[in-house]
Protein backbone atom coordinates (compact mmCIF):
# COMPACT_ATOMS: atom_id res chain seq x y z
CA UNK A 1 0.00 0.00 0.00
CA UNK A 2 1.32 3.43 -1.00
CA UNK A 3 0.58 6.56 0.98
CA UNK A 4 0.43 10.06 -0.49
CA UNK A 5 0.07 13.19 1.63
CA UNK A 6 -2.16 16.01 0.53
CA UNK A 7 -0.77 19.15 2.13
CA UNK A 8 -3.94 21.12 2.64
CA UNK A 9 -4.98 22.59 5.99
CA UNK A 10 -5.32 20.18 7.70
CA UNK A 11 -3.26 17.70 5.65
CA UNK A 12 -4.47 14.17 5.02
CA UNK A 13 -3.21 10.87 3.68
CA UNK A 14 -4.38 8.90 0.66
CA UNK A 15 -3.75 5.16 1.01
CA UNK A 16 -3.65 3.32 -2.32
CA UNK A 17 -3.34 -0.38 -3.03
CA UNK A 18 -4.57 -3.89 -2.59
CA UNK A 19 -6.00 -4.12 0.91
CA UNK A 20 -5.80 -0.37 1.60
CA UNK A 21 -9.12 -0.94 3.38
CA UNK A 22 -7.22 -2.46 6.29
CA UNK A 23 -6.06 1.09 7.07
CA UNK A 24 -9.61 2.37 7.48
CA UNK A 25 -10.00 1.48 11.18
CA UNK A 26 -6.90 3.46 12.17
CA UNK A 27 -7.95 6.41 10.00
CA UNK A 28 -11.34 6.45 11.74
CA UNK A 29 -10.06 5.83 15.28
CA UNK A 30 -7.82 8.87 15.00
CA UNK A 31 -10.97 10.99 14.73
CA UNK A 32 -12.41 9.55 17.98
CA UNK A 33 -15.95 9.36 16.60
CA UNK A 34 -19.10 8.89 18.66
CA UNK A 35 -20.59 6.92 15.76
CA UNK A 36 -19.62 6.06 12.19
CA UNK A 37 -22.03 6.44 9.26
CA UNK A 38 -21.28 4.74 5.97
CA UNK A 39 -23.07 6.43 3.10
CA UNK A 40 -23.21 4.20 0.04
CA UNK A 41 -25.37 2.87 -2.80
CA UNK A 42 -27.12 -0.51 -2.95
CA UNK A 43 -24.82 -1.63 -5.75
CA UNK A 44 -21.59 -0.78 -3.94
CA UNK A 45 -22.92 -2.30 -0.73
CA UNK A 46 -23.87 -5.53 -2.56
CA UNK A 47 -20.37 -5.92 -3.96
CA UNK A 48 -18.22 -4.64 -1.13
CA UNK A 49 -20.36 -3.90 1.93
CA UNK A 50 -19.37 -7.07 3.74
CA UNK A 51 -15.70 -6.37 3.16
CA UNK A 52 -16.00 -2.82 4.53
CA UNK A 53 -18.10 -4.10 7.44
CA UNK A 54 -15.27 -6.44 8.44
CA UNK A 55 -13.12 -3.38 9.10
CA UNK A 56 -15.56 -0.99 10.79
CA UNK A 57 -18.79 -1.44 12.67
CA UNK A 58 -21.06 1.30 11.34
CA UNK A 59 -24.54 2.57 10.72
CA UNK A 60 -25.44 2.40 7.03
CA UNK A 61 -27.28 4.88 4.87
CA UNK A 62 -28.10 3.80 1.31
CA UNK A 63 -29.05 6.10 -1.53
CA UNK A 64 -29.20 5.57 -5.29
CA UNK A 65 -26.02 6.71 -7.02
CA UNK A 66 -26.83 7.67 -10.61
CA UNK A 67 -25.92 11.21 -11.66
CA UNK A 68 -29.68 11.95 -11.78
CA UNK A 69 -29.83 11.33 -8.02
CA UNK A 70 -27.04 13.78 -7.16
CA UNK A 71 -29.64 16.29 -6.02
CA UNK A 72 -30.83 18.35 -3.05
CA UNK A 73 -33.70 15.91 -2.36
CA UNK A 74 -31.18 13.06 -1.95
CA UNK A 75 -29.04 15.28 0.26
CA UNK A 76 -32.08 15.94 2.41
CA UNK A 77 -32.72 12.20 2.69
CA UNK A 78 -29.13 11.60 3.78
CA UNK A 79 -29.12 14.34 6.41
CA UNK A 80 -32.53 13.38 7.81
CA UNK A 81 -31.37 9.78 8.01
CA UNK A 82 -28.30 11.01 9.94
CA UNK A 83 -30.64 12.70 12.43
CA UNK A 84 -32.88 9.65 12.66
CA UNK A 85 -29.94 7.34 13.33
CA UNK A 86 -28.56 9.63 16.02
CA UNK A 87 -25.60 11.36 14.36
CA UNK A 88 -24.12 14.18 16.44
CA UNK A 89 -21.23 16.63 16.11
CA UNK A 90 -18.72 13.93 16.96
CA UNK A 91 -19.94 11.50 14.31
CA UNK A 92 -17.91 10.63 11.24
CA UNK A 93 -19.16 10.03 7.71
CA UNK A 94 -17.55 7.43 5.46
CA UNK A 95 -18.33 8.09 1.79
CA UNK A 96 -18.28 4.64 0.20
CA UNK A 97 -18.87 4.69 -3.55
CA UNK A 98 -18.11 6.45 -6.81
CA UNK A 99 -17.89 10.18 -7.37
CA UNK A 100 -21.64 10.66 -7.04
CA UNK A 101 -21.70 9.18 -3.53
CA UNK A 102 -18.44 10.95 -2.65
CA UNK A 103 -19.76 14.36 -3.71
CA UNK A 104 -23.09 13.90 -1.90
CA UNK A 105 -21.76 12.31 1.28
CA UNK A 106 -18.98 14.89 1.37
CA UNK A 107 -21.52 17.70 1.05
CA UNK A 108 -23.73 16.13 3.71
CA UNK A 109 -20.70 16.00 6.03
CA UNK A 110 -19.76 19.59 5.15
CA UNK A 111 -23.16 20.88 6.19
CA UNK A 112 -24.53 18.47 8.81
CA UNK A 113 -24.48 20.41 12.09
CA UNK A 114 -22.23 22.91 10.29
CA UNK A 115 -19.68 20.25 9.46
CA UNK A 116 -18.52 16.84 10.63
CA UNK A 117 -15.48 14.89 9.37
CA UNK A 118 -15.63 12.73 6.25
CA UNK A 119 -13.39 9.86 5.20
CA UNK A 120 -13.55 9.11 1.49
CA UNK A 121 -13.49 5.46 0.40
CA UNK A 122 -13.76 5.79 -3.40
CA UNK A 123 -14.83 2.69 -5.34
CA UNK A 124 -14.55 3.80 -8.96
CA UNK A 125 -11.29 4.58 -10.71
CA UNK A 126 -12.51 8.11 -11.45
CA UNK A 127 -13.27 8.71 -7.79
CA UNK A 128 -9.93 7.24 -6.67
CA UNK A 129 -7.82 9.45 -8.90
CA UNK A 130 -10.00 12.53 -8.96
CA UNK A 131 -13.31 13.04 -7.15
CA UNK A 132 -12.25 11.84 -3.68
CA UNK A 133 -9.27 14.18 -3.52
CA UNK A 134 -9.38 17.93 -3.29
CA UNK A 135 -12.37 18.61 -1.08
CA UNK A 136 -14.91 19.68 -3.69
CA UNK A 137 -18.36 18.41 -2.71
CA UNK A 138 -21.84 19.19 -3.93
CA UNK A 139 -24.97 18.34 -5.86
CA UNK A 140 -26.60 19.26 -9.15
CA UNK A 141 -29.61 21.51 -9.73
CA UNK A 142 -32.06 21.04 -12.60
CA UNK A 143 -30.33 24.14 -14.03
CA UNK A 144 -26.88 22.59 -14.14
CA UNK A 145 -24.21 20.37 -12.66
CA UNK A 146 -22.49 20.97 -9.31
CA UNK A 147 -24.18 24.33 -8.78
CA UNK A 148 -24.53 23.89 -5.00
CA UNK A 149 -21.64 22.73 -2.90
CA UNK A 150 -18.83 23.40 -0.48
CA UNK A 151 -15.14 22.81 -0.01
CA UNK A 152 -14.71 20.15 2.66
CA UNK A 153 -11.41 18.29 2.70
CA UNK A 154 -11.63 14.64 3.71
CA UNK A 155 -9.69 13.58 6.82
CA UNK A 156 -8.38 10.52 4.97
CA UNK A 157 -8.83 8.79 1.62
CA UNK A 158 -8.68 5.00 1.30
CA UNK A 159 -8.38 3.83 -2.32
CA UNK A 160 -8.41 0.02 -2.30
CA UNK A 161 -7.58 -1.24 -5.79
CA UNK A 162 -9.38 -4.56 -5.23
CA UNK A 163 -12.79 -2.89 -5.37
CA UNK A 164 -12.07 -1.96 -8.99
CA UNK A 165 -12.42 -5.64 -9.96
CA UNK A 166 -16.20 -5.33 -10.14
CA UNK A 167 -16.23 -2.07 -12.08
CA UNK A 168 -17.78 -2.43 -15.57
CA UNK A 169 -15.06 -2.22 -18.26
CA UNK A 170 -16.44 0.98 -19.74
CA UNK A 171 -16.42 2.75 -16.35
CA UNK A 172 -12.90 1.52 -15.77
CA UNK A 173 -11.63 2.83 -19.11
CA UNK A 174 -13.41 6.15 -18.57
CA UNK A 175 -11.41 6.55 -15.36
CA UNK A 176 -8.22 5.74 -17.23
CA UNK A 177 -8.73 8.74 -19.49
CA UNK A 178 -8.44 10.98 -16.42
CA UNK A 179 -5.24 9.11 -15.55
CA UNK A 180 -3.95 9.83 -19.06
CA UNK A 181 -4.88 13.47 -18.43
CA UNK A 182 -2.77 13.55 -15.25
CA UNK A 183 0.20 12.18 -17.13
CA UNK A 184 -0.27 14.56 -20.04
CA UNK A 185 -0.42 17.71 -17.88
CA UNK A 186 2.08 16.92 -15.17
CA UNK A 187 3.85 13.55 -15.22
CA UNK A 188 5.71 12.40 -18.34
CA UNK A 189 6.79 9.19 -16.56
CA UNK A 190 3.23 8.23 -15.79
CA UNK A 191 2.43 8.90 -19.44
CA UNK A 192 5.21 6.54 -20.62
CA UNK A 193 4.10 3.88 -18.15
CA UNK A 194 0.60 4.04 -19.60
CA UNK A 195 2.08 3.62 -23.10
CA UNK A 196 4.31 0.73 -22.10
CA UNK A 197 1.99 -1.18 -19.75
CA UNK A 198 -1.30 -0.81 -21.57
CA UNK A 199 -2.14 -4.52 -21.50
CA UNK A 200 -1.45 -4.87 -17.80
CA UNK A 201 -3.34 -1.70 -16.97
CA UNK A 202 -6.39 -2.85 -18.95
CA UNK A 203 -6.15 -6.32 -17.37
CA UNK A 204 -6.27 -4.52 -13.99
CA UNK A 205 -2.96 -5.96 -12.86
CA UNK A 206 -2.95 -4.89 -9.20
CA UNK A 207 0.73 -3.95 -9.05
CA UNK A 208 0.68 -1.75 -12.14
CA UNK A 209 -2.68 -0.26 -11.16
CA UNK A 210 -1.40 0.71 -7.74
CA UNK A 211 1.50 2.59 -9.25
CA UNK A 212 -0.46 4.42 -11.96
CA UNK A 213 -3.24 5.37 -9.52
CA UNK A 214 -0.65 6.60 -7.03
CA UNK A 215 1.03 8.71 -9.71
CA UNK A 216 -2.29 10.26 -10.77
CA UNK A 217 -3.22 10.95 -7.15
CA UNK A 218 0.19 12.56 -6.65
CA UNK A 219 -0.51 14.95 -9.54
CA UNK A 220 -3.86 15.99 -8.11
CA UNK A 221 -2.50 16.16 -4.54
CA UNK A 222 0.29 18.49 -5.58
CA UNK A 223 -1.96 20.83 -7.52
CA UNK A 224 -4.71 20.88 -4.89
CA UNK A 225 -2.28 21.62 -2.05
CA UNK A 226 -0.84 24.54 -3.98
CA UNK A 227 -4.30 25.86 -4.81
CA UNK A 228 -6.82 24.71 -2.23
CA UNK A 229 -9.71 26.92 -3.30
CA UNK A 230 -9.46 26.65 -7.04
CA UNK A 231 -7.58 29.67 -8.24
CA UNK A 232 -5.59 29.55 -11.46
CA UNK A 233 -3.28 26.63 -10.87
CA UNK A 234 -6.07 24.09 -10.43
CA UNK A 235 -7.37 25.00 -13.84
CA UNK A 236 -4.78 22.83 -15.56
CA UNK A 237 -6.73 19.85 -14.17
CA UNK A 238 -9.39 20.88 -16.65
CA UNK A 239 -7.30 19.78 -19.61
CA UNK A 240 -9.74 18.32 -22.16
CA UNK A 241 -12.71 19.53 -20.15
CA UNK A 242 -13.76 22.58 -22.18
CA UNK A 243 -14.71 20.48 -25.20
CA UNK A 244 -15.53 17.52 -22.90
CA UNK A 245 -18.19 19.46 -21.01
CA UNK A 246 -19.66 20.70 -24.28
CA UNK A 247 -20.01 17.10 -25.52
CA UNK A 248 -21.62 16.00 -22.25
CA UNK A 249 -24.07 18.89 -22.24
CA UNK A 250 -24.91 18.47 -25.94
CA UNK A 251 -25.92 14.84 -25.38
CA UNK A 252 -27.70 15.56 -22.08
CA UNK A 253 -25.09 13.51 -20.22
CA UNK A 254 -26.37 10.34 -21.91
CA UNK A 255 -23.97 9.49 -24.70
CA UNK A 256 -20.59 9.77 -22.99
CA UNK A 257 -19.20 8.88 -19.63
CA UNK A 258 -17.36 11.89 -18.25
CA UNK A 259 -13.93 10.38 -18.92
CA UNK A 260 -14.89 9.56 -22.51
CA UNK A 261 -15.97 13.14 -23.16
CA UNK A 262 -12.70 14.35 -21.64
CA UNK A 263 -10.81 11.95 -23.91
CA UNK A 264 -12.40 13.60 -26.97
CA UNK A 265 -11.64 16.95 -25.39
CA UNK A 266 -7.97 16.05 -25.05
CA UNK A 267 -7.84 15.01 -28.70
CA UNK A 268 -9.32 18.39 -29.65
CA UNK A 269 -6.91 20.18 -27.29
CA UNK A 270 -3.98 18.39 -28.93
CA UNK A 271 -5.13 19.63 -32.35
CA UNK A 272 -5.58 23.14 -30.98
CA UNK A 273 -2.15 22.94 -29.37
CA UNK A 274 -0.47 22.06 -32.65
CA UNK A 275 -2.39 24.52 -34.79
CA UNK A 276 -1.74 27.40 -32.41
CA UNK A 277 1.97 26.64 -32.26
CA UNK A 278 1.93 25.66 -28.58
CA UNK A 279 2.48 21.91 -28.97
CA UNK A 280 4.82 19.90 -31.16
CA UNK A 281 3.09 17.60 -33.64
CA UNK A 282 4.97 14.53 -32.34
CA UNK A 283 3.71 15.08 -28.81
CA UNK A 284 0.16 15.59 -30.01
CA UNK A 285 0.41 12.35 -31.95
CA UNK A 286 1.61 10.46 -28.88
CA UNK A 287 -1.29 11.80 -26.86
CA UNK A 288 -3.89 11.00 -29.51
CA UNK A 289 -2.43 7.52 -30.07
CA UNK A 290 -2.53 6.74 -26.37
CA UNK A 291 -6.16 7.82 -26.07
CA UNK A 292 -7.13 5.67 -29.06
CA UNK A 293 -5.24 2.72 -27.54
CA UNK A 294 -7.37 2.93 -24.43
CA UNK A 295 -10.56 3.26 -26.50
CA UNK A 296 -12.96 2.71 -28.12
CA UNK A 297 -14.77 6.01 -27.63
CA UNK A 298 -18.41 6.51 -28.60
CA UNK A 299 -18.45 8.56 -31.81
CA UNK A 300 -19.26 12.26 -31.67
CA UNK A 301 -22.53 12.59 -33.51
CA UNK A 302 -23.35 16.24 -32.75
CA UNK A 303 -23.02 19.03 -35.28
CA UNK A 304 -19.78 20.99 -34.85
CA UNK A 305 -21.78 24.22 -34.66
CA UNK A 306 -23.70 23.01 -31.59
CA UNK A 307 -20.48 22.04 -29.83
CA UNK A 308 -18.88 25.39 -30.64
CA UNK A 309 -21.87 27.23 -29.20
CA UNK A 310 -21.63 25.26 -25.97
CA UNK A 311 -17.91 25.96 -25.71
CA UNK A 312 -18.75 29.67 -25.89
CA UNK A 313 -21.09 29.35 -22.93
CA UNK A 314 -18.78 27.18 -20.81
CA UNK A 315 -18.20 28.57 -17.34
CA UNK A 316 -14.48 28.73 -18.02
CA UNK A 317 -15.18 31.22 -20.75
CA UNK A 318 -14.38 34.74 -19.63
CA UNK A 319 -16.03 37.67 -21.38
CA UNK A 320 -16.81 35.41 -24.31
CA UNK A 321 -13.20 34.31 -24.78
CA UNK A 322 -12.78 30.59 -24.21
CA UNK A 323 -9.65 29.62 -22.31
CA UNK A 324 -7.98 26.37 -23.19
CA UNK A 325 -5.62 24.28 -21.16
CA UNK A 326 -2.92 23.18 -23.57
CA UNK A 327 0.08 20.91 -23.14
CA UNK A 328 3.24 22.43 -24.65
CA UNK A 329 4.79 18.99 -24.23
CA UNK A 330 3.88 15.71 -22.53
CA UNK A 331 3.95 16.39 -18.79
CA UNK A 332 3.43 20.17 -18.86
CA UNK A 333 0.34 22.36 -19.15
CA UNK A 334 -0.67 25.98 -19.33
CA UNK A 335 -3.82 28.00 -19.74
CA UNK A 336 -4.00 29.85 -23.05
CA UNK A 337 -6.58 32.44 -24.02
CA UNK A 338 -7.26 34.15 -27.29
CA UNK A 339 -7.10 31.05 -29.47
CA UNK A 340 -8.35 32.06 -32.91
CA UNK A 341 -11.82 30.68 -33.53
CA UNK A 342 -10.91 28.94 -36.83
CA UNK A 343 -8.38 26.88 -34.85
CA UNK A 344 -11.05 25.81 -32.36
CA UNK A 345 -13.50 25.13 -35.16
CA UNK A 346 -11.03 22.93 -37.04
CA UNK A 347 -10.35 20.88 -33.91
CA UNK A 348 -14.05 20.39 -33.20
CA UNK A 349 -14.71 19.43 -36.82
CA UNK A 350 -11.79 17.04 -36.49
CA UNK A 351 -13.31 15.05 -33.62
CA UNK A 352 -16.71 15.00 -35.34
CA UNK A 353 -15.13 13.27 -38.34
CA UNK A 354 -13.08 10.65 -36.51
N1 LIG B 1 -15.45 16.45 -6.37
C2 LIG B 1 -14.65 16.42 -7.42
O3 LIG B 1 -13.58 17.03 -7.42
C4 LIG B 1 -15.06 15.61 -8.60
C5 LIG B 1 -14.12 15.33 -9.61
C6 LIG B 1 -14.52 14.54 -10.68
C7 LIG B 1 -15.81 14.06 -10.74
N8 LIG B 1 -16.70 14.34 -9.76
C9 LIG B 1 -18.09 13.83 -9.79
O10 LIG B 1 -18.04 12.42 -9.79
C11 LIG B 1 -19.23 11.93 -10.40
C12 LIG B 1 -18.88 10.75 -11.29
O13 LIG B 1 -18.28 9.76 -10.52
P14 LIG B 1 -18.15 8.24 -11.02
O15 LIG B 1 -17.63 8.23 -12.39
O16 LIG B 1 -17.43 7.53 -9.97
O17 LIG B 1 -19.67 7.80 -11.17
P18 LIG B 1 -20.70 7.11 -10.16
O19 LIG B 1 -20.47 7.50 -8.77
O20 LIG B 1 -22.05 7.39 -10.73
O21 LIG B 1 -20.38 5.57 -10.32
C22 LIG B 1 -20.54 4.95 -11.58
C23 LIG B 1 -21.24 3.62 -11.47
O24 LIG B 1 -20.36 2.66 -10.90
C25 LIG B 1 -21.00 1.93 -9.85
N26 LIG B 1 -19.94 1.49 -8.95
C27 LIG B 1 -19.24 2.23 -8.06
N28 LIG B 1 -18.26 1.50 -7.52
C29 LIG B 1 -18.33 0.27 -8.07
C30 LIG B 1 -17.57 -0.92 -7.93
N31 LIG B 1 -16.50 -0.98 -7.15
N32 LIG B 1 -17.95 -2.00 -8.66
C33 LIG B 1 -19.01 -1.93 -9.50
N34 LIG B 1 -19.74 -0.84 -9.69
C35 LIG B 1 -19.40 0.26 -8.98
C36 LIG B 1 -21.98 2.88 -9.31
O37 LIG B 1 -23.02 2.20 -8.63
C38 LIG B 1 -22.46 3.62 -10.54
O39 LIG B 1 -23.48 2.89 -11.16
C40 LIG B 1 -19.86 13.10 -11.11
O41 LIG B 1 -21.02 13.49 -10.42
C42 LIG B 1 -18.81 14.19 -11.06
O43 LIG B 1 -19.37 15.48 -10.97
C44 LIG B 1 -16.34 15.10 -8.70
ZN1 LIG C 1 -12.87 15.32 -15.10
Q: Do the Cβ atoms of 122 and 84 come closer than 8 Å?
A: no
Bridge partners of residue 302, in order along the sequence: none
pTM value?
0.96
Substitution candidate for ligand 1 out of 38, 122, 171, 173 with most atoms within 8 A of CB: 171
Q: What is the pLDDT of residues 275-301, one digit of tens each?
A: 999 999 999 999 999 999 999 999 999
CA distances from 94 to 71, 164, 353 (A): 19, 18, 44
Indicate if 170 belongs to the active site: no
d(Cα 11, Cα 154) in Å, to the nearest integer?
9
| Cα-to-centroid distance, 32 and ligand 2 (Å) | 34
C-alpha angle 254-258-262 in degrees, rounded to nearest 5? 125
* Whether the predicted pLDDT of 322 surpasses 80: no
Residues 147-176: tens digit of each pLDDT: 999 999 999 999 999 999 999 999 999 999
* Residue 228 reports pLDDT greater than 90: no
Q: Which phi and psi (to 5°) does residue 6 adopt?
A: -105, 115
Whether cis (ω within 30° of 0) applies to the bond prior to 287 is no
* Best residue for ligand 1 mutational test, from 99, 101, 122, 140 (most atoms within 8 Å of Cβ): 99
The answer to whether the beta carbons of residues 242 and 265 sit under 8 Å apart is yes
Q: Provide the 3-class DSSP secondary structure of residue 284.
A: helix
pLDDT at site 323: 85
β-bridge mates for residue 118, sequence order: 93
Tell me the pLDDT tens digit for each residue of 88-143: 999 999 999 999 999 999 999 999 999 999 999 999 999 999 999 999 999 999 98
Q: Is 114 left (phi over 0), alpha (psi -120 to 50) or beta?
A: left
Report, as an integer, the average pLDDT of 52-81. 96
Catalytic residue among 55, 152, 155, 178: 178
Whether 117 contacts 31, CB under 8 Å: yes
Q: How many residues does the chain have?
A: 354
Nearest-angstrom CA–CA distance, 134 and 157: 10
Amino acid sequence: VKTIRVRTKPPYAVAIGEDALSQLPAAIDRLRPSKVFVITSPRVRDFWGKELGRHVPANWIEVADGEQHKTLPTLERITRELVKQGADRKSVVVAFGGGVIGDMAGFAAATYMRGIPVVQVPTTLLAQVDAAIGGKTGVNLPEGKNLVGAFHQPRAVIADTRVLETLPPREFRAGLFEVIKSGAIADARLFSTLERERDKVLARDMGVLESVIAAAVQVKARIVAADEHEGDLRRILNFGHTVGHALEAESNYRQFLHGEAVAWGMIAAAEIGVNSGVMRAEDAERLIDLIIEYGPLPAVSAKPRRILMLIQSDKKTMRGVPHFVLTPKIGAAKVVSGIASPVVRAAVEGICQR
